[in-house]
């Protein structure tokens, strides 16, 4: 058996499977899915309906967006609220735990911007600086 000391080693499919629990891998495991960082970034500004999210997440199919939202909900980052009206209305928002990811995302944005600038590149994504 491999006795790993310190960070980071995958012990299974999820970053938390196995004997070593690495905080960095746990974070990446939660937010590293396709479109997850963008979904979280958009929800920082406030609740959004599925159709609004779909419009602001370029390239995401409804199926993929639904899958990513379900995973974020399962991980406790996103809250799905169903309003008892006809037709049904659903809004997605960040949980308190989800709101705590903001400084992480802002740091990633700043680091990525600096990296692109150092390479003479300009950011061209739908993530814009937060107010």
Task: Indicate the pLDDT class of residue 3, thresholds 50, 70 and 90.
Answer: very low
16: pLDDT strictly greater than 80: no
Residue 7 domain-assigned (yes or no): no
Residue 45 domain-assigned (yes or no): yes
Does the reported pTM lie above 0.75?
yes
**How many independent structural domains does the chain possess?**
1
Average pLDDT over residues 60-80: 96
What are the Cα distances from residue 115, in Å, to 33, 92, 111, 119?
21, 32, 6, 6
Residue 53 domain-assigned (yes or no): yes
Average pLDDT over residues 62-88: 95
Q: In CATH, what number is assigned to the domain containing residue 111?
A: 1.10.10.10
Residue 14 domain-assigned (yes or no): no
Residue 129 domain-assigned (yes or no): no
Q: Residue 38 — φ and ψ, nearest 5°?
A: -65, -40
DSSP letters spanning the chain: -----SS----SSSTTSSS---HHHHHHHHH-STTHHHHHHHHTT--EEHHHHHHHSTT--HHHHHHHHHHHHHTTSEEEEEE-SSS-EEEEEE-HHHHTTHHHHHHHHHHHHHHHHHTT----SS-----
Residue 69 domain-assigned (yes or no): yes
- Give the domain range for residue 33: 23-118
Residue 8 domain-assigned (yes or no): no
Residue 125 domain-assigned (yes or no): no
């Amino acid at each position: 058996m491999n006795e790993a000391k310190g960070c980071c080693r995958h012990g299974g499919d999820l970053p938390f499977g196995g004997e070593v629990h690495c905080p960095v891998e746990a974070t990446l495991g939660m937010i590293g899915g396709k479109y997850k960082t963008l979904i979280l970034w958009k929800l920082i500004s406030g609740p959004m309906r599925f159709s609004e999210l779909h419009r602001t997440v370029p390239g995401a199919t409804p199926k993929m967006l639904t899958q990513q939202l379900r995973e974020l909900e399962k991980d406790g980052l996103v809250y799905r609220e169903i309003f008892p009206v006809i037709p049904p209305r659903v809004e997605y928002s960040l949980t308190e735990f989800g709101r705590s990811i903001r400084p992480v995302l802002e740091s990633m944005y700043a680091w990525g911007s600096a990296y692109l600038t150092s390479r003479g590149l300009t950011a061209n994504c739908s993530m814009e600086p937060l107010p």
